[in-house]
A and B are shown apart, each in its own frame.
Chain A
């Protein structure tokens, strides 16, 4: 197992390098001239060619491509992503806190999704075909055909406006978490619980359940065995869900004015603030790779047959 960990981790490094390179290339592809953007943002009234040239030099854009890439990469590793074109402040000072806020939302949502999915999955598998199962599946079908922001809007309208129980935006107190987390949880648990349910249903017909019962074992024990088998599939799916949820918080954050990466990224895109966009992509892609690596390792831990893959 230790060998697998090392080999899998090593695989992540070239991947991260490639990602950083592609991100850098992406930026270089943009049709906008960064010098212009900076000068516009600074409110300079007359933009002469000299001024443009000066700004470009200041931004270090006159050097060869590869040198620029290496410089950029080195400073990234020190968390220096340059300064925002718009505010002039260091990117990390804006990105860091936003990242933290997004993480808070994501982690809590992921935990809620996992708990709810497993819970609903078990309930539906054990009551298969009955009213409980059908109504949960019907409700889930309906709720996941909605765009998440519509669901969010409905919940906000009902809970914040009509009942005035919960705040509509910002990140002030524990209550601020409730609505955003609920929206994300409902949207994703609605999809994932079916996996748990289907896995459990498949296993309910397995011989080891029959044999366990034939030996007189109590139902509780058998359910635990069922869970252990069914959750194997679910674990890998849940780990994949983390980056997906991380990405899809974008819409939710904008709806709830949650001061996280979602809001920051959209604002930056609309104002063409490239350093922030670049850093955002890099940070999230890196997080993605890390989580994937981790999830592969967990999968190998649970299922020994996967360890020989490399």
Chain B
């Protein structure tokens, strides 16, 4: 836990965490925070620019952009987080069972994972949407189905590493039950790995959901969602490019914050990287390349 203090000292990491938390809170409390109704159409206000009533202007149907952004946090960010949690949860259970007990159970589960992983993610998500129909729930379901195998694999590797430790063998020799060993010894140690992996998966899932909504396969009108707002803005891109600004910048800002945070988390939780970062005096953010981010694509 001492290592997490480093995280808070690092200003950029703290800023990222702040952005992330405030966005999450804004999404949860959207009905109280948003100034206007996100779905209320005011055709007379089409493309209106910034005004006191409508702090970020109005879109092509005269709806309040700011309110849509705030309500859009829910599908774009919050629901993705929930999906991530479910996915990681399933992956963790399978990963722990597989990595700890090993043997035939492990071989079987890993075969299943391999099969799941040999499907190209994007393609299978499209397939599931194609079969079940468009909509937010179906996309998120597809995400869960596709990603758990990936998490399971990574967590299993991590668990296998740690369950070979001497103190685990001692505990087994003392007769401690499997679940309590897992709970007391392995979970705390593998938590950092899980945290970093989840964090990097978070940003890639947000971008993917955004992409699907952009294609019209995700959230359906008139609900607000960042990707969909960008899609709508694209229609009028040539005449009114400024409409793309709000959802675009918000997405970039939030995803950057998550990425920053992932890097900082990785540096903070990995003692080797931390000593290099400290030595170089600067904030550790840019120092080490973060490999895990690319793998979730």
Contact = CB atoms under 8 A, between A and B. Distances in A.
Do A and B touch (CB < 8 Å)?
Answer: yes
Interface of A: 15, 18-19, 22-23, 26-27, 29-32, 134, 137-138, 141-142, 144-150, 153, 156-157, 161, 191-192, 194-195, 197-198, 237, 240, 243-244, 246-248, 250-251, 254-255, 265-266, 268-270, 272, 274, 277, 280-281, 284-285, 288-289, 292
A195 B289 contact: yes
A150 B130 contact: no
Contacts of B294: 191-192, 194-195, 237
Contacts of B255: 145-146
Interface stretch (B37-45, B87-95, B113-121): B113-121
B214 A251 contact: yes
Nearest to A160: B238
Interface string B239-259: 001001000100110011001
Given A145-B203, A153-B237, A198 B122 contact: no
Contact of B244 (A150, A237, A281, A284): A150
Interface string B130-160: 1111100000000000000000000000000
B100 to A, nearest CB: 23
Interface in B208-252: 210-211, 214-217, 227, 230, 234, 237-238, 241, 244, 248, 251-252
Contacts of A137: 286
A15 B117 CA distance: 11
Contact of A148 (B121, B211, B291): B211
A116 to B, nearest CB: 14
A250 B126 CA distance: 10
A147 B130 contact: no
Nearest to B129: A269
A246 B256 contact: no
Given A150-B252, A250-B122, A198 B291 contact: yes
Contact of B119 (A19, A161, A268, A274): A19
Contact of B259 (A29, A141, A255): A141
Nearest to A269: B130
Contact of B118 (A15, A156, A191): A15
B170 to A, nearest CB: 32
B259 A270 contact: no
B123 interface: yes
B118 A19 contact: yes
B52 to A, nearest CB: 29
Contacts of B132: 29-31
B contact patch SS: helix
Interface in B80-120: 115, 118-120
B290 interface: yes
Nearest to B255: A145
Closest 7 CB pairs of A and B: A247-B122, A198-B289, A194-B289, A277-B130, A191-B294, A145-B256, A30-B131
A277 B289 contact: no
B118 A198 contact: no
Given A244-B297, A270-B134, A281 B123 contact: yes
Contacts of A195: 289, 291, 294
Contacts of B19: none
Given A145-B203, A147-B251, A161-B238, A27 B126 contact: no
Given A270-B216, A285-B119, A142 B293 contact: no
B26 interface: no
Nearest to B248: A150
Nearest to A158: B241
9 contacts: A15-B118, A26-B131, A147-B207, A149-B211, A194-B289, A247-B120, A285-B120, A285-B123, A288-B123
B290 A194 contact: yes
B169 interface: no
Given A142-B252, A148-B211, A277-B130, A288 B119 contact: yes
A15 B246 CA distance: 45
B128 interface: yes
B127 interface: yes
Given A157-B237, A251-B211, A288-B118, A147 B288 contact: no
Given A195-B289, A195-B294, A251-B215, A153 B234 contact: yes
Nearest to B251: A147
B121 A247 contact: yes
A264 to B, nearest CB: 11
A18 B115 contact: yes
Contact of A141 (B119, B121, B256): B256
B195 interface: no
Contacts of A244: 120-122, 297
Considering residues B130, B217, B291, which has the most beta carbons from chain A within 10 angstroms of its beta carbon? B130
Contact of A280 (B123, B131, B134): B123
Interface string B265-297: 000000000000000000000101111011101
Given A147-B230, A195-B291, A29 B237 contact: no
